[in-house]
With several copies, the nearest count.
Chain A
Amino acid sequence: ATEHLRLATTTSTENSGLLSVLLPPFEQTNNCQIDVIAVGTGKAIKLGESGDVDVVMVHARSKEDKFIADGYGVDRRDVMYNDFVVLGPVSDPAGVKQTTDIASAMATIAQHHATFVSRGDDSGTHSREKQLWRAAHVTPDGDWYLEAGRGMGEVIIMAGERKGYTLSDRGTYLAFSGKTELKIVSQGDSQLFNPYGVIMVNPLKHPHVKDELAKRFLNFLVSDQAKALITGYRRNGEQLFYVQ
């Protein structure tokens, strides 16, 4: 029978469509099947902690480090990165487009009390957003700041409906660009860099983890073949992910 490897990953990775390109070559050569469980970052890590998956792929560096420090995960690899962008209405009421760096972009939004929809769900994106507010020396609070507590796509839609701003990863924005009138108003700052890491669940802690196969999978993800697949992946003609 084919072996199954369980991979917990964030919804955005799964939704980008990359995995359906990236995984099949590995599955074929290793005669296995990778069961992708797409959940929030926090929950993905929790699934790793409880040993219900074999491999975790997320983008929240501090949480990943803690996961490894607590002994739940081993062998973290940098797989790829993409970037975040700030989205806003075409009219750009806060004039974010005039800013050059992300810190002043965030500060402008706060100054104008322009509607900003936050993920509010402790996801990788939400952690990054909080980091950006700190960098801009702003404590977001008030009617203009909506904490939605939802997935990325839904938050983009909400921000569109409310004619507000939001922070999104580029992949999800591209997927939703036909469904919203929001445009990119700020991008390219080095602080918007978004690395994805892959971690194997510690087989010492969870003996049933398929470490053999997991290790091969990790090796595959950093192999030249995988790199070619990642950089070659296009959506609406745009490249979504980059490798170091």
Chain B
Amino acid sequence: MDYLLESIRAAIELIFAFDQDIQRVVWTSLYTSFCAIALSATLAVPVGVALGLTQFRGRRIVITLLNTLMALPTVVVGLVLFGLFSRQGPLGNLGLLFTPIAMIAGQVVLATPIISNYVLAAVEGCDSRIINTALTLGATPLQANIQLIKEIRFGVMAAIIAGFGRVIGEVGVAMMLGGNIRNSTRTMTTAIALETSKGEFAFGLALGIVLLSVALFVNLFLNLLQQR
């Protein structure tokens, strides 16, 4: 139990010292997560809206598959993308393995089902009159859908926050596709995993506290955005 207290002290020291290694690691975590979420939202929001609004044969099957993808373990995503990006793989000669781009790709795969499911739930729960109201006021179908997204912005923001939490806190993809290379692809989570495997529990936990503080700031910021 001691190490819980110890780690809080260590975390505070870490945050105040904020040495270059930590800065680097925080920065890598943040920018991969942001890129991943931006890409993933661009993909997932339209998917969620489309699934929520259209009726077609097999729709429930598609939704169930999307639900199932939320159970994708990070290791599995890592393995599959590793197969794509490795030298032997079809995208091997791009040399993307163990770069941030590979990590971002993995995180997009993780976040997309989460965001689309969230958006889907928001669309299914929303007022059925929104689209017709927009159309009769002269909107194109696309504009009507955009208005729908604006109307359910609370749900969309919640989706993005959930997706962000998932990718900034995940370790498997970052580890397998990034490689946890110091000064390059080491993120907060892979650093925590490393410290833990060394038995440096207090330091690992301290990094965890740094991670949560960073996530808190990002969420405060998203919250402000939303209230605007």
Interface residues, chain A, with chain B CB atoms under 8 Å away: 6, 11, 14-15, 33, 35-46, 50-52, 120-123, 146-151, 153-154, 157-158, 160-162, 175-176, 178-179, 206, 208
- Cβ A45 vs Cβ B98 within 8 A: no
**Whole-angstrom CA separation of A14 from B199 in the bound complex:** 13
Taking a contact as CB atoms under 8 Å apart, the answer to whether A50 and B86 are in contact is yes
Q: Is residue B29 within 8 Å, beta carbon to beta carbon, of the partner chain?
A: no
> B154 on the interface (CB 8 Å rule)?
no
In Å, the complex CA distance between A40 and B201 comes to 12
Contact between A208 and B194, CB atoms less than 8 A apart: no
> Which residues of B lie under 8 Å from residue A149 when comparing CB positions?
180-182, 186, 190-191, 194
Total A-B residue contacts, Cβ distance less than 8 Å: 104
Asked if A179 and B201 make an inter-chain contact with CB atoms under 8 angstroms apart, the answer reads yes
Q: Are B182 and A147 in contact (CB under 8 A)?
A: yes
Q: Is B100 an interface residue (CB 8 A)?
A: no
What 17 new A-B contacts, CB under 8 Å, besides A158-B179, A162-B98? A15-B197, A35-B98, A35-B184, A37-B98, A51-B88, A120-B182, A146-B181, A147-B181, A148-B179, A148-B181, A149-B191, A149-B194, A154-B175, A161-B98, A175-B198, A206-B87, A208-B87
List CB contacts (< 8 Å) of B51-95 with chain A: 86-88, 95
Q: In whole angstroms, what is the CA distance A150 to B197 when docked?
A: 9
CB < 8 Å neighbour of B181 from A35, A44, A179: A35
Number of interface residues of B (CB under 8 A): 24
With a cutoff of 8 Å between Cβ atoms, the chain B residues found around residue A36 in the complex are: 181-182
Contacts of A45 in B (CB 8 A): 199
Whole-angstrom distance from the CB of A166 to the nearest CB of chain B? 13
Minimum distance in angstroms from B142 CB to a CB of chain A:
43
Q: 1/0 contact trace for B93-137 toward A, CB 8 Å?
A: 001011000000000000000000000000000000000000000
Check if A161 sits within 8 Å of B181, measured CB to CB: no
- Cα A244 to Cα B176 with chains together (Å): 34
What chain B residues lie within 8 Å of A147 (beta carbons)? 181-182
Chain B residues lying within 8 Å of A153, measured Cβ to Cβ, are 196-199
In the assembled complex, the CB of B172 is this many whole angstroms from the nearest CB of chain A, namely 12
Chain B contacts of A146 at CB under 8 A? Answer: 179, 181-182, 184
B131 to chain A, nearest CB (A): 49
**Alpha-carbon distance between A35 and B98 when the two chains are bound, in angstroms:** 9
Q: Are B98 and A121 in contact (CB under 8 A)?
A: no
Residue of B with least CB distance to A38: B180
Across the interface, A35 reaches (CB within 8 A) one of B179, B190, B198, B199, namely B179
CB-nearest residue of chain B relative to A44?
Answer: B199
User: Which residues of the other chain, A, contact B13 by a CB distance below 8 angstroms?
Assistant: none
Residues of A within 8 A of B180 (CB): 37-38, 148-150
Contact B181 A43 (CB under 8 A): no
Query: Are A40 and B87 neighbours in the complex by a CB distance under 8 Å?
Result: no
- Residue A42 contacts which of B87, B176, B186, B197 (CB distance < 8 angstroms)? B197
The answer for the CA separation of A147 and B184 in the assembled complex, in Å, is 10
A51 close to B175 (CB less than 8 A): no
**A42 in contact with B194 (CB, 8 Å):** no
Chain B 199-220, CB-CB to A under 8 Å as 1, else 0, gives: 1110000000000000000000
B24-55 CB contacts (< 8 Å) to partner A:
none
Q: Which residues of B sit under 8 angstroms from A158, Cβ to Cβ?
A: 98, 179
Shortest Cβ distance from residue B99 to the other chain A in the assembled complex, whole angstroms:
10
| Nearest-CB residue, chain A, relative to B87 | A51
**Is there contact, CB below 8 Å, between B98 and A40?**
no
Say how far B19's CB is from chain A's closest CB, in angstroms: 15
Q: Which are the 6 A-B pairs with shortest beta-carbon distances? A: A42-B199, A40-B197, A46-B199, A51-B87, A42-B198, A147-B182
Q: Given the complex, which residues of A lie within 8 Å of B97, measured CB to CB?
A: 52, 161
B181 near A154 with CB under 8 A, answer no
Are B98 and A175 neighbours in the complex by a CB distance under 8 Å? Answer: no
Interfacial chain A residues near B176, Cβ < 8 Å: 154
The complex places the Cα of A136 from the Cα of B97 at a distance, in Å, of: 31
Give the nearest-CB partner of A6 in chain B.
B98
- Chain A residue numbers with a CB within 8 Å of B181 are 35-37, 146-149
Q: Is the CB of A11 within 8 A of B197?
A: yes
Cβ contact within 8 Å between A176 and B199: yes
Q: CA of A145 to CA of B97 in the docked complex: distance in angstroms?
A: 17
Give complex CA distance A151, B198 in Å: 10
- Report the bound CA distance from A178 to B88 in whole Å: 13
